Amino acid sequence: MRHKYANIRQTYRLARAFTLIELLVVIAIIALLMAMLIPALDAARRLSKRMVCKGNLKQIALGWRLYLDDWEGFFHQGPNKNHDFGGWKGLGPGLKLRRPLNNYVGLPPEIKTPKGAKVFRCPADTGGVPGYSPQELAYDIFGNSYQTNLFLIGPTYIGPPTGNLAALHTTINKRLNHISLTDVTTNPALLALVGDNNWVNEWMPVQPRMEAWHGKPQHHNLAFMDVHVDYIKIRKGLYITPEYSILPFRDLQKTALAVQQEVDPND
């Protein structure tokens, strides 16, 4: 019994010897470790969401290839087709239209709940869409977190910018109506097909910049005509870069290179 009490007294003395300074040092070390770990955890979380988003875009790009096979190579065109090609009904005006790509990714054509079209929802979607509340997700607005290359899937006429780009857009518009794969001459591995909703505004010279969802300004997930997906910097005002091409027409690339001009990201 004496030994038992002696051990208790020894433990008590050791506890009393643990000073306030030592406690503060331990707390400081824990705080430092937390400060080091939290950014790493945030980065891992962003990377995980980006990879899920890339997987979604891979499925969507494959769906487009199947769609083109069934439709003799003709792209889906018309008002708002760049948004309402797939997903659920969405909340935007004029966007409650048939979404043909649903059939090609294993979904029913009519989906009335946002829970039913997860392949069209980017887990990093935080919205940032002009004209809507900053808190509204692109997925809730359009029924779809993704947007297509307007020169392939979307309206048959795109209002030309002024200045040096007007003539180029006038020529492009003449070719957009009823565009098919036989009209596409740009390398499929470089031709942008579909990406995060905000990538289009990030590229268009006359549109305001939009939020990048994956933690790096100006960088977006983008799927290409050959079905590969990459996370790349979208350079505002450039139709052709070494990483991607917006133009589906190779014969217009020389003209585009002569007139395109990158807009300063700080403008």
Pairing of strands 192-196, 146-148: antiparallel
User: What is the rounded average pLDDT of the residues 79-92?
Assistant: 86
**Domain around 246:** 45-259
Separation between Cα atoms, residue 54 and residue 56, nearest integer Å: 5
Q: Is 107 within 8 Å of 184 (Cβ atoms)?
A: no
Q: Is residue 237 part of a domain?
A: yes
For residue 163, being part of any structural domain is answered with yes
Residue 25 lies in a domain: no
Is 219 a member of any domain? yes
Residue 202 lies in a domain: yes
Angle at 117 between CA 114 and CA 118, to 5 degrees: 95
CA atoms within 13 A on the CB side of 168: 24
Give the total number of structural domains in the chain: 1
C-alpha 74/C-alpha 179 separation (Å) is: 6
pLDDT tens digits along 143-187:
999 999 999 999 988 887 778 899 999 999 999 989 999 999 999
Task: Please tell me the total number of residues recorded for the chain in this structure.
Answer: 267
pLDDT in tens, 219-251: 999 999 999 999 999 999 999 999 999 999 999
What's the confidence (pLDDT) of residue 110? 86
Task: Tell me, yes or no, whether 267 lies in a domain.
Answer: no
| Each residue's pLDDT tens digit, 100-152 | 999 999 999 888 888 889 999 999 999 988 788 888 999 999 999 999 999 99
Beta-bridge partner residues of 180: 74
pTM of the model: 0.83
- The candidate with the shortest Cα–Cα distance to 123, out of 34, 209, 46, is 46
